[in-house]
Amino acid sequence: MFKRKSRADEAAESAVAELEAIMGAVHKSQAVIEFELDGTIIKANENFYAAMGYSPSEVVGRKHSLFVTPDYGASDEYRDFWKKLNRGEFMSDKFHRLAKGGRTIWLQATYNPMFDKSGKLYKVIKFATDITATELQHQKRDAESAEAREQQVFAVEATAKALARLAKGDLTYRIVEHFPDEYERLQADFNAAIERLHDVMTSVAVASGAIQSGTGEITSAADDLSRRTERQAANLEETAAALDEITATVRKTAEGAKEAQGVVSAARGDAEASGAVVSDAIAAMGKIEASATQISQIVGVIDEIAFQTNLLALNAGVEAARAGEAGRGFAVVASEVRALAQRSAEAAKEIKALITASTAQVSSGVDLVGKTGEALRRIVGEVAKITDLVTEIAASAQEQAVGLAQVNTAINDMDQMTQQNAAMVEESTAASHALAQQATELDGAMAQFALGQQRAVPEPQRRPTAVPMRIAASGAATARKLEPAPDADRWEEF
């Protein structure tokens, strides 16, 4: 009477039962609604009506546009939405819809085009889950995030504006806009940092001005010292040259004084020898005078003899006259003897006259020689004094030569030290100029910052430059005059 079911029928029934069980589970957990291809609502389940707040009579037969805003329902995007479904395209997304009374609802839904056995599209089924609470939380978080981003953008823009002013060197700018509570610390810290930077840069500016002023004074003093050192080096160089010449001159003078000492000593010896010769000459003249006196006495004797002979010849003549012829020969002899006696007397007179004159001349010569001897003795004394003086002069000249050699060595050492000092001063001057340049650059760098007040930079005080006296030089190197040393008070400032 009953036929037994085939395995295919049993499988189909089993599949249908399973499908009905699945659909039952879906209808229990999800909102389900079916649409015609033009969007007309066919039916919906209780979950859908509960979620949207409508009753079946308020929904069935109405269009899908009931659940969207009028603007979206009239848009091309909405028309494209249904065109895709009519092409059989499956769609799954999060959708914003309107429930009853215009209440906003968010659905996580899928639109599923349905095909019959012949493959013809005949309706669309929508499965949806109400995610409004979750979405509202997301929107709240998004709104909070947007507000946070907006506050962050505001804080970043205000800070960027302040940093831009800072980048231009304006240290007077402060962030005065009201920051959100989360960024108030950023505002306070930035303003505090700028305030501290302003104070530091103000101090640096003041220090820079002081450094510039100090370096100006140092540079001025270094320039003055450099010029003075150069002039002193030149003066010492000329002084050393002049001292070399003076030393050579004094050395020659010492040598000349030594030679003069020898010459004077020789002259003293010659004068003493001349004195001895004069003494011998005086003695010889005395002997000559004594001999002349003796000769005069002899001549006197001869004169007396001639006188006596003349008397005898005269007596002999008288006697011969008395004798007559006998005495004539004797008379001749007596006459001749008388004549000879007369001639002898005359010769004796002449000799006596000559001896008298010679004696007078010898006496005069003795006096002159005596005076000459006295003069020579005085000359010997003076020459002795001159010898002593020349000896002292030679010793002094030697001492001066030694002293000047030492002074010359000291001056040459001072010249070398002064040259070294000049090189060091030149390096110091270059360093001071470099420091001044760096101070100027620092001041220029500080000028890029606006500190809200005019920085007063004191002008460097220029010290008066002491001008050393020039060395007056003549054509001859030996005639150079040494430059007087600068006053001590001119160097105390250094």
Domain containing 325 — which CATH number? 1.10.287.950
Residue position matching structure tokens 């005639």: 479
What is the number of structural domains in the chain? 2
Say how far residue 439 (Cα) sits from the centre of its chain: 14
Tell whether 345 is covered by a domain.
yes
- Asked whether residue 247 falls in the same domain as residue 115, the answer is no
Residue 94 lies in a domain: yes
242 plus 348 within the same structural domain? yes
Question: Which residues touch 93 (CB under 8 Å, ≥6 apart)?
Answer: 109
**How high does pLDDT run on average in the chain?**
80
Q: Are 86 and 37 in contact (CB under 8 A)?
A: yes
Using the 3D structure, point to which of 130, 155, 172 is the last residue of a domain. Answer: 130
Please check the confidence at residue 80 and state whether its pLDDT lies above 50.
yes
Pick from 67-71, 125-129, 203-207, 259-263: least confident: 259-263
Residue 149 counted as domain residue? no
Locus of tokens 């909070």? 144
98-146 pLDDT per residue, tens: 999 999 999 999 999 999 999 999 999 999 999 999 999 988 998 988 9
How many angstroms separate the CA atoms of 86 and 82, rounded? 6
Q: Other CB atoms closer than 10 Å to residue 400's CB: what's the count?
A: 18
Residues 96 and 225 in one domain: no
Block residue for tokens 């004159």: 357
Q: Is residue 200 part of a domain?
A: no
Q: What's residue 355's pLDDT? A: 77
pLDDT at 370: 78
**Measured between alpha carbons, how far is residue 107 from residues 29, 96, 104 in Å?**
13, 7, 10
- Same domain? 249 vs 118: no
CATH number at residue 28: 3.30.450.20
For the range 174-179, what are the long-range contacts, defined as Cβ-Cβ under 8 Å and sequence gap of 24 or more?
179/154, 179/155
Are both 428 and 301 inside the same structural domain? Answer: yes
Percent of the chain residues topping a pLDDT of 90: 24
Residue 90 confidence (pLDDT) above 70: yes
Q: What is the C-alpha to C-alpha distance for residues 319 and 311, in angstroms, rounded to an integer?
A: 12
CB under 8 Å to 227, separation ≥6 — which residues?
465
Domain that holds residue 85: 17-130
Higher pLDDT residue, 196 or 280?
196
Provide the pLDDT confidence category of residue 44 given band limits of 50, 70 and 90: very high
Query: Does residue 220 sit within a domain?
Result: yes
Which of 76, 100, 130 is the last residue in one of the domains?
Answer: 130
Task: Indicate if the pLDDT at residue 487 is higher than 70.
Answer: no
Dist CA 352 CA 298 (whole Å): 9
Q: Are 116 and 231 found together in one domain?
A: no
- Paired with 113 in beta bridges are 124
In a domain, 416, yes or no: yes
Residue 269 lies in a domain: yes
Using 50, 70 and 90 to split pLDDT, how confident is the model at 29?
confident
Tell me: do 247 and 363 sit in the same domain: yes
pTM of the model: 0.42
**Residue 234 and residue 242 in contact, taking contact as beta carbons nearer than 8 Å:** no
Q: For residue 109, tell me if it sits in a domain.
A: yes
Q: Of 98, 130, 162, which one is at a domain's C-terminal end?
A: 130
Same domain as 122, residue 241: no
Our measurement of the distance from residue 354's CA atom to the centroid of its chain's CA atoms, rounded to an integer in Å, reads 105
Residue 286 shares a structural domain with residue 409: yes
- Is the domain of 329 the same as that of 448? yes
